[in-house]
Amino acid sequence: MPEEQSTRDRVRALVREVLEKAAPADEPEEESAASTPASGEPHAQAGEPQSRARLVNVASGEAAPPEKEYARDESSKTIITETDVRGLPEGARLRVAEGARLTPLAADIVRERKIELVRRTPRRGSHAERIVAVGADHGGYPLKEELKTFLAELGHRVRDFGTNSTEAVDYPDFAHAVARAVSEGGADLGIIIDGAGVGSAMTANKVPGVRAAACYDAKVARNSREHNDANVLTLGSGTIDSKQMREIVRVWLSTEITEERHKRRVAKIEAVERQYRS
């Protein structure tokens, strides 16, 4: 009997050892924040101990898991800097974009404070509901009103930043408002209409994280999304009519960036932007 008891004890010890080494089946494998690719960000050396930040994927529009709300939502940004994570308490939940990268300093803070990164899966396809920020100057106002109706027909939610009449206004004010909504996560995408679409694109592109494209036909609209991952579309009320607007917007909303070579080039655009951030 002692020999039989000894055998059972060895089996129990082996089972405990296996269970301790196995990852929980009901949770995704944890990743170090430093393992999230970032330009110039070093990976941990083999054998180097490090704290780990739990990564969770959450589809856009889904409610936060009930056990804890997000401490902060930075899901509109593709690069998470130390400014974005500074001030977060230990164990906080930070919502980030699906492909967001962390700078080295941000990754250090995430590891040290055991911050949980919740990946936000972007809505895909023309039938996925999006929050679209819209804006226009006085010349683009009538077409903006048509655009709002069209977006509702497509099943999207609209945030209208004005203007609300044909009384003369300055387009940079409304382009800035739309671009800021996209940059700060208040909208998934933005569409701005002025006389030519150029001035609004220039203004919007001054806002960090915004890639605005002035498009005059469906081919350019598709390219701006597929190749450049544009998140703001600018249109010229003096260059297109209502039918062309609908075609451009439909194509723009239904196109996604998928090719790795295009994503790599967009990452270089973002790297240029970071060089000039104060």
- Identify whether the C-beta of residue 56 lies closer than 8 Å to the C-beta of residue 28: yes
What is the 8-class DSSP label of residue 156?
A: -
67's CB contacts (< 8 A; 6+ apart) are none
Specify the long-range contacts of residues 18-27, CB closer than 8 Å, at least 24 apart: 27/54
- Identify whether the C-beta of residue 178 lies closer than 8 Å to the C-beta of residue 112: no
**Amino acid in the structure at residue 68:** K
Strands (E), the chain: 55-59, 72-74, 79-80, 93-97, 101-102, 116-121, 131-136, 157-160, 189-194, 212-214, 232-236
167's CB contacts (< 8 A; 6+ apart) are 138
CA neighbor of 220 nearest in space, from 199, 203, 197, 237? 197
Task: List active site positions.
Answer: 227
Q: How many angstroms separate the CA atoms of 81 and 209, rounded? A: 12
- Identify whether the C-beta of residue 103 lies closer than 8 Å to the C-beta of residue 82: yes
CA neighbor of 130 nearest in space, from 262, 255, 12, 261? 255
Q: How many angstroms separate the CA atoms of 22 and 40, rounded? A: 32
